[in-house]
Amino acid sequence: MFKLVFIVWFGFTALMANNLLMHESSPYLKRHAHNPVDWHAWNKETLAKAKKLNRPIFLSIGYSTCHWCHVMEEESFEHKEVAEVLNKHFISIKVDKEQFPHIDKKYQTLFRAFKGKRGGWPLSAFLTPELDVYYMTAYIPRNGYGKVEGIIELSKRLGKLYKEKDKLKVALDTFSKAKANIYKTYESSPKNIALQEVMNQTVEKIAKQYDPENAGFDLGRTKFPEASKIELLLNIYKTTGDRKAFSMAEETLVNMSTRGIYDHIEGGFFRYSGKNWRIPHFQKFLYANAQMSLVYLEMYRLTGKKKFYTIAKDTVDLMECKYLENGHYYSASDSVGKSGVEGEYYTYNYTEIFDKLEKDGLEEEEIDEALEYFAIEMDGNIDGEFSHVNIMTEFAPSKAEIIKKYLKELRTPRELPYMDKKIITAWNAMMIKTLFVMAQYDESYLKTANERLASLLDLMLKNNTLYHQTVGTNEPKQKAQLEDYAYLIDALITAHQVTLDNKHLTLASRLAYQAKELFLEKGIWYMNEGEHRVRADFDDRYYTSALSVLLNTFLTLANIHDDMDLGEESKRMLGSHAHILKNRLEESSNFVTLMMREKLGVVTLKAPESDLHKYIKEFMHIDHPFVLRKAHQYDEYIACKLGVCLASAKNIKDISDDIAKMKIESQQKPKKVMWGK
């Protein structure tokens, strides 16, 4: 009997495991390992195979918690008739965008240049064996409608098109022209403009994107948190006192923290939502929660309003509770629950809750008041009869905390949505930076921050080689990308600023020069090393541009160490890409922050280490947007900018006053920003 069961099981497994993705480590690729589509991974062997067979490539880019990627798989990739067409005409390649962000960036950038709008996931591209695009789209439906072709019809047409050389050349030329325009603006050299004018234009351009009704920075149907844009607005406010900048940042953070893009029951932010923030796409990403926690902590520092701190703390605590294993953070959780319904883990049925609370002895009026507060409605506020929690009134009713506790208990037996267990160096570093910042408000987080940093370095930094990602505690094999260096250096600098432990600074400097050696070639920064190099850019749409983060760390290290080499590289990139301040200012928030730091000057406060620890609260409230700490052996406080020290004092109050004056003097000087080299 056992032998028969084994034979049946083995035969079933053999039938299911029918493509090469079963050998991959990426959770996203593994999810497609049993499709009848003859999927291949992106590697030298696959690309060589396409050339050898002279077959075009169907490239499908997505990630494991992508809703429409799942839809396309269920509608198309799981079906034999679709697989037959793809297998006949193409070498089909699956790419996990989180594993190969440079591949995704390459084709997303081309999509935007060709279509005039951003793409999304899944991204579907049809390529020659030489990797030249001749057709691109995003999600492809199973069945066509109107002018939209279904996947079978489209694949057949594009498979035949590849063999019709005249038509193929026309298609290739179209994308070739779009590609040529991608970096065209790099050659522009507009006139000079005053620093103050850049900040004014920044606020004006962001204001045009701003939704006055719901807050946030998109007037369309979808909103992303855009942490770097909020951070930039706060930097402008701290520099100039611009109340409009502050108001847009504060209203956005308030609305996000009361509406459904924030999980009011367990904490944490969903990746994006509809325009009014109420109904999110129920994915949670590590990077979004790390970066949003930082801006809430900064708003707490500026306003003293405890609500902002609570949001940050609950978000960090959620990541520690649900997204952590063996000292490392998972990358993301899916939106779809066990039964395949989006948001089922997070949503509630009105009648079920009402009946339970009534049996527990709560008065009908108390229940109604509390459920109204949480926006749990009789007819549901999402598809069907279920409601997603939003906070709809300013004042909490008396039973709100009791009911919130019950809502949390209701989730206990529910199964968490699928978790992508990739450990990504860049994203873990973002979270580690947030932990060190949290430690400035609550010392209990310092031990956790140090442990998480040590765990990440132990896993991902081997023999002076940094790695990009792995799954679980498996030995990493994929070398780091620019984003891993950028965010890890940033976390190490933050660790130094909080602890003043020079080992963090030493490693940060070593990695900075290593990044420069690996990713900078003939004046151009790339996202990756090796083959198929892709230019890095300053786009902050989804999370802060790795290149702008790296250049900001260069400027920080330059100021702490008086390292002119790193400082000059930041300055050079500001000059060669200054056209961004004119053409894409509102999309490149952290680049503008880099410009502000370079032009206003970063102040390094040097003092005895004991004093820097003793007066940490005073240091955090110095009236200058860009201040660093560095311990020295003298018994006085010295305030320096890059290459020059400008003030000294015997106590923290006097040096703080001197630094505040430096900000005023910097604003009064007629600084110019050079656009173009």
| CATH number of the domain to which 33 belongs | 3.40.30.10
Return d(Cα 370, Cα 356) in angstroms, integer.
14
Which of 413, 433, 465 is the last residue in one of the domains?
Answer: 413
List C-alpha distances in Å: 82 to 36, 187, 250, 530: 9, 45, 49, 34
Sign of the dihedral through C-alpha 545, 547, 548, 550: positive
Output b/e per residue, 448-470; b: 16+ Cβ within 10 A. Answer: bbbebbebbbebbbeeeebbbbb
In a domain, 548, yes or no: no
**Per-residue pLDDT at 668:** 64
Q: Is 145 exposed, middle or buried (0-12, 13-18, 19+ CB in 10 A)?
A: exposed
Nearest to 233 by CA among 213, 257, 256, 216: 216
Amino acid letter at 198? Answer: V
So what's the pLDDT on residue 218? Answer: 83
Domain assignment present for residue 167? The answer is yes
Quick one: pLDDT at residue 109? 93
The SS3 call for residue 68 is helix
User: Residue 513's pLDDT is what?
Assistant: 97
> What integer pLDDT is reported at residue 511 of this predicted model?
98
What are the backbone dihedrals phi and psi of residue 75, each rounded to the nearest 5 degrees, phi first?
-75, -35
63 belongs to a structural domain: yes
Report the C-alpha dihedral over residues 237, 243, 247, 249, rounded to 10 degrees: -10
pLDDT in tens, 55-104: 999 999 999 999 999 999 999 999 999 999 999 999 999 999 999 999 99
pLDDT of residue 361: 86
Cβ contact 624:659 at 8 Å: yes
Please give the residue range of the domain that contains residue 158: 2-182
Tell me the two tokens of residue 579.
């056209």
- The whole-angstrom separation of Cα 250 and Cα 533 is 39
Q: Are 663 and 624 in contact (CB under 8 A)?
A: yes
Task: Give me the pLDDT at residue 362, please.
Answer: 87
Check residue 240 and give its pLDDT. Answer: 94
The reply to whether 198 falls in a domain is no
Q: Is residue 616 in a domain? A: yes
What token pair was written down for 315?
């978000």
- What is the structure's pLDDT at 221? 81
Give the integer Cα–Cα distance in Å for 266 and 626: 34
Per-residue model confidence (pLDDT) at position 3: 38
Cα-flanking dihedrals φ and ψ of residue 194, to 5°? -70, 145
**CA quadruple 178, 179, 180, 185: dihedral, nearest 10:** 90
Strand partners, 58: 92, 126
C-alpha span between 272 and 260 (Å, rounded): 10
pLDDT value of position 19 = 93
pLDDT for 383 equals 77
Instruction: Please state the separation of Cα 598 from the chain's center in Å.
Output: 24
Residue 156 lies in a domain: yes
- Tokens encoding 55: 């077959």
Domain boundary among 182, 209, 234: 182
- Are 12 and 64 within 8 A, CB to CB? no
Q: Which of 366, 387, 413 is the last residue of a domain?
A: 413
Residue 409: is it exposed, middle or buried by C-beta count within 10 angstroms (0-12/13-18/19+)?
exposed
Residue the block writes with tokens 């708003």: 299
Q: How many domains does the chain have?
A: 3
Looking at the domain assignment, is residue 353 inside a domain?
A: yes
So what's the pLDDT on residue 580?
86
Closest Cα to residue 449, out of 426, 465, 430?
430
Alpha carbon distances (Å) from 306 to 270, 293, 417: 22, 13, 31
Residue type, 324: L
Domain assignment present for residue 207? The answer is no
| pLDDT < 70 positions in the chain | 1-17, 184-193, 668-677
Structure letter (DSSP) for residue 214: T
